[in-house]
Structure 1
Amino acid sequence: MSAREVNFDGLIGPTHNYGGLSDGNLASSRNAGDVSNPREAALQGLEKMRTLLRAGLTQGVLPPLPRPNFDLLVSAGFSGSDRQIIEQAAAQAPRLLKIAYSASSMWTANAATVSPSADTQDGRLHLTAANLSTMLHRSLEHPDTTASLQAIFGDDRHFAVHAALPMHADFADEGAANHVRLCATHGAPGVELFVYGRDAGESIAGYPSRQARLASESISRGHGLAPGRSVFARQSAEAINAGAFHNDVVCVGTADTLFFHEAAFEDTAATLDRLRKASDGLFDLKSVMVPAAEVPLEDAIRSYLFNSQLLVVPGESRLVLVAPSEVQDTESTRAYCERLISGNGPIGRVDYVDVRQSMRNGGGPACLRLRVVMTDAEIAACHQAVLLTEDRIDALQAVVRTAYRDRLAPEDLADLSFADECRIAREALLDVLELEELA
């Protein structure tokens, strides 16, 4: 079956700010309270999308979620008009106001877990919205994320959109950031790797282990995956406590290639052995392990070497790694990438992109996209206006330049006019994407 990978990037919203809300995300904590630039952030993200579109890839976009989240603030006991609610929250619970304004849905690698139709029992493409239950600001996302996915993938002849798993620690699910699909070609049956940080009921010291094994197993069953083609591997505690809050901070894969740090998995040999057994008869696994002696774990996490997009690009004989410019700026990762592409391995080129506004909040190129492998029929059946063209990118950028602020400090969230600005900006974006029903 012929299929291709469509990257649905999150369109960064007008409330992009450095709230420092994410425990275990070192960049988020380090830059907490700094002044952000929502306009620049969104323009950087859209330019990354344009780069991939021009490379011959199919590029999609997911809209920002409605912010501020008034449901949260009302649940916290604030009442009155929208302006009165914001005024009360700013005075009495400024952290809750930051949470209500969080733009974290921009990192759509956490939006859902996706299994293509080549892997599923019913032959449909399955998407399960992530509950993101570990962090309060992210746990608010899944109802609106589900609505967005249903609006885009609404044809139930081709798609199955599942609601989030129960909001309990045993079902903690962070979406595709802890999931890798490997295959011979995108349209062929593949192997799905689910990486988790803890078992149900397990208590762990240190930074939060955000993905529970029960969540991964539940999604595999719900998507109708063949048991022998699902592999469950434990992320190393070393990586989590070094700041790899998701597996995609230390591992990325596509096609038949897994690219990962030496410290990514609790038991690397066992993980690779299970992947080889699961892929037997489908493809020969290519594993590229980066030794800690060449790239210290600290450098890998600070630069987000593995939070890059690993892509099959038309006309390229080897894979292309789209990495944040911080990889080029870090001596060990730059030197490693130079050695990587000079050899005859599966990765033949590294392209660097500027997503510094996102990086300062703890998300690289891979965080900003949700990979969805789709057949031509599925592409035709999804909502067409979210599939980008040069003209549509231009139209989105025009909205951003007009409606987004170029400076947002934490105290600006108390500005009583800001909520109206955000609503108007989002409605204009939804109009470009022909998703007015989400307004």
Structure 2
Amino acid sequence: MSEMAWREVNFDGLVGPTHNYSGLALGNLASMSHQGLVANPRQAALQGLGKMKSLVEAGYVQGILPPQQRPDIATLRLLGFSGNDGEVLARAAGEAPQILRAVCSASSMWTANAATVTPSVDAPDGRVHFTPANLQSSFHRTLEPPATERILAAIFRDQAHFAHHPALPATPVFSDEGAANHTRLCGDYGEPGVHLFVHGRAAFGWGTEEGVAPRHYPARQTLEASQAVARQHGLTESQVVFAQQHPDAIDAGVFHNDVIAVGNGPVLLYHEIAFLDEQIILNELRDKMRAPLIPVRIPEAAVSLEDAVASYLFNSQLLSNPDGTMTLVVPGECQERENVWRTIQNHLLAGHNPISEVVVRDVKQSMRNGGGPACLRLRVVLSEAERAALSGRVLLTEALHGELTAWVKRHYRDLLAPEDLADPQLAEEALKALDELTRILAIGAVYPFQRA
């Protein structure tokens, strides 16, 4: 099969109608610092669609994952709020506003957390494997896995090509944040790869050595979760590397590995303080990869941890081109930090590595909640036959982009403050929008209100 028969498809999450700034994510400095601001859901969705369209125009394959049903009124009822929908929302707003904000979160837009994916070329049964992340570290994100599982099963429906596993038990031992802590490194996409799983802590017998545990913010991913996902997907020891995230990075606001490192093909772009045992990890990757590893290390002297978190340089999309070069899609914030932009020009573009182009995209609405270009996408390596087996209209075209843009403009508000989340009209608007979206994407009834 030709090299171009295998492609990496970026499945971006459409931003949902309830996009807001509630500051729900402990350890995510952007989310915490922008709490209470007025959001613009319409602009957020259009910024995401604009990034997707630009990648399609550049020749990349771009997929779409729909947002989840929010507000999640069923969860409010489970937590004891009663009455009609309007009364439930009003009671929650008055008695437990943080719970209301959690059940309205549009965090499913960051599909890097949706699941962990193993391409068919790496799996023993020759199918693409998916495990939805349990996201047990944050209440607002624990609401996502059931819907994520339904959405993935609706799109990747053909059981001859795709295999779906249940999310891991939602306990601190198996805390799983999905592909935000997973990177597949390889030569060509159709060649076997090595899977780099990054954890912040090990649940059993960990944290006794001085300096190993983060002091300020929680380590979300566990070693045990990464090992369990690898077992589910049938990966062997020769196919995996388990690495610990540096605790100093977590305390600086690096809540996921994809805030401090990004890899694609044979290239691993990472910050000096990304990993606790940097050289051991690099050596193990070199030993297990068939293609030569190309590490691109950014020193602390060039970009501090503070600047890395503020700019999201490492939460950029690293994209492979047919000629062997790579394109880095960075958020606009990288231009706002002089040392970061200088490092991009002098260290990356002028360095001895395949990165030959840097593209700047505005995703500021997402960035204010702590999600850059890489957070917005779930990477799925698919063969030509697997792409043909996808269900629905989920690969972006110019026509579909036009339909989705018009859909956003019909249904999304241009201003949304946290106090607006109690508005029952917002809930009605969201359901109407999602019902229409499933028809546009032709994915069937994936939402609870459609299945009732």
Instruction: Settle same-fold status: TM greater than 0.5.
Output: yes
Q: Deviations over 1:324-350 (max 9, x none)?
A: 011111111100010121233221111
* Structure 2 counterpart of 1:254: 264
Counterpart-to-counterpart distance in 2, 1:273 and 1:206: 30
- 1:245 aligns to what? 255
Matched, 1:234 2:244: yes
Give the structure 1 partner of residue 450 of structure 2.
none
Please state whether the residue corresponding to 2:445 is helix, strand or coil: helix
Which residue number in structure 2 is paired with residue 102 of structure 1?
Answer: 105
Give a deviation string over 1:84-104, Cα, whole Å, max 9, x none: 211111111111110010000
**Comparing 38-47 with 406-415, which one deviates more in the overlay?**
406-415
The farther-off stretch of 72-81 and 61-70 is 72-81
**Counterpart code for 1:372:** V
Q: Does 1:319 align with 2:326?
A: yes
The answer on whether the counterparts of 1:55 and 1:313 sit within 8 Å (CA) in structure 2 is: no
Superposed, which structure 2 residues align to 1:137-286 within 5 Å? 137-201=140-204, 202=206, 204=213, 205-279=215-289, 282-286=290-294
Q: Does 1:76 align with 2:84?
A: no
Taking structure 2 as the reference length, what is the TM-score of the superposition?
0.95
Q: 1:8 aligns with which of 5, 8, 11?
A: 11
1:109-132 per-residue CA deviation (whole Å, 9 max, x = no partner) reads 000000001111111100100000
Deviations 1:354-403 (A, max 9, x none): 00000000000000000000001110111140111111011011010111
**3-state SS in 2 of match to 1:417:** helix
The aligned amino acid for 1:336 is: T
2:421 matched to 1:399? no
Query: In the alignment, is the contact (CA less than 8 A) between 2:363 and 2:372 conserved in 1?
Result: yes
- Give how far 1:226 is off: 2.2
Shift of 1:227: 1.4
Q: Could you say which residue in structure 2 is the equivalent of 1:28? A: 31
Query: SS state of the match for residue 352, structure 1?
Result: strand
Residue 414 of structure 1: CA displacement?
1.5
Q: Which runs of 5+ in 2 are unaligned?
A: 208-212, 448-452
Q: Which amino acid aligns with 2:169?
A: P
Partner Cα separation in structure 2 for residue 414 and residue 71 of structure 1:
15
Q: What is the DSSP-based 3-state SS (H/G/I as helix, E as strand, rest coil) of the residue aligned with 2:358?
A: strand
Q: Which moved more, 1:32-41 or 1:86-95?
A: 86-95
Name the counterpart of 1:373.
Answer: 381
Residue type of the alignment partner of 1:306: F
- Name the counterpart of 2:307: 299
Mapped partners of 2:392, 2:150: distance in 1: 16
2:42 counterpart residue number: 39
Instruction: Assess if the C-alpha contact under 8 Å between 1:120 and 1:226 holds in 2.
Output: no
Question: Is the Cα–Cα contact under 8 Å of residues 119 and 226 in structure 1 kept in the other structure?
Answer: no
- Selected match of 1:114 from 100, 113, 117: 117
Whether the 8 Å CA contact 1:427–1:436 is kept in 2: the answer is no
> In the TM superposition, what whole-angstrom CA distance separates every residue of 1:266-287 from its partner, at most 9, and x where no partner exists?
01011101111111xx100000
1:36 CA displacement: 0.3
Greater Cα shift, 177-186 or 422-431: 422-431
Q: Deviations over 1:69-89 (max 9, x none)?
A: 122201210112111211111
Tell me the distance in 1 between the aligned counterparts of 2:79 and 2:298. Answer: 46
Query: SS in structure 2 opposite 1:386?
Result: coil
Q: Give how far 1:416 is off.
A: 2.0
Kept after mapping to 2: 8 A contact 1:7/1:370: yes
Between 1:319-328 and 1:343-352, the stretch displaced more is 343-352
1:338 aligns with 2:345: yes
Q: Please give the alpha-carbon distance, in whole angstroms, between the structure 2 residues aligned to 1:91 and 1:48.
A: 38
Tell me the secondary structure at the aligned position of residue 83 of structure 1. helix
* Secondary structure of residue in 2 paired with 1:306: helix
Aligned counterparts of 1:51 and 1:163: Cα–Cα separation in 2: 34
Which one-letter code corresponds to 1:257 in the other structure? V
Counterpart position of 1:56: 59
Match of 1:389 in 2: 397
Structure 2 distance, partners of 1:313, 1:17, is: 35
In the alignment, is the contact (CA less than 8 A) between 2:392 and 2:443 conserved in 1?
Answer: no
- For each residue in 1:5-36, what CA deviation from the matched residue of structure 2 results, as whole angstroms up to 9, or x when unmatched? 00000000000000100000000000000000
Code of the aligned partner of 1:214: E
Q: Is the 8 A contact 1:192 1:231 kept in 2?
A: yes
Code of the aligned partner of 2:243: A
Over aligned residue pairs, what C-alpha RMSD do you find? 1.0
Q: Which amino acid aligns with 1:411?
A: E
CA distance in 1, matches of 2:243, 2:193: 17
Q: Which amino acid aligns with 2:249?
A: A
CA contact (8 A) 1:6 1:60 kept: yes
Does the aligned pair in 1 maintain the 2:86–2:423 contact within 8 Å?
no
User: 1:206-251 CA deviation, whole Å, 9 max, x = no partner?
Assistant: 2010100000000111101121110000000010000000000000
Question: Does residue 352 of the first structure (1) align with residue 343 of the second (2)?
Answer: no
Letter matched to residue 115 of structure 2? A
d(CA) in 1 for partners of 2:74 and 2:274?
38
Instruction: State the secondary structure of the residue aligned to 1:348.
Output: strand
SS of 2:315 mapped into structure 1: coil
Give the distance between the partners of 2:160 and 2:443, measured in 1 at CA: 21
TM-score by length of 1: 0.98
Aligned-partner residue type, residue 423 of structure 1: L
Letter aligned with residue 219 of structure 2:
S
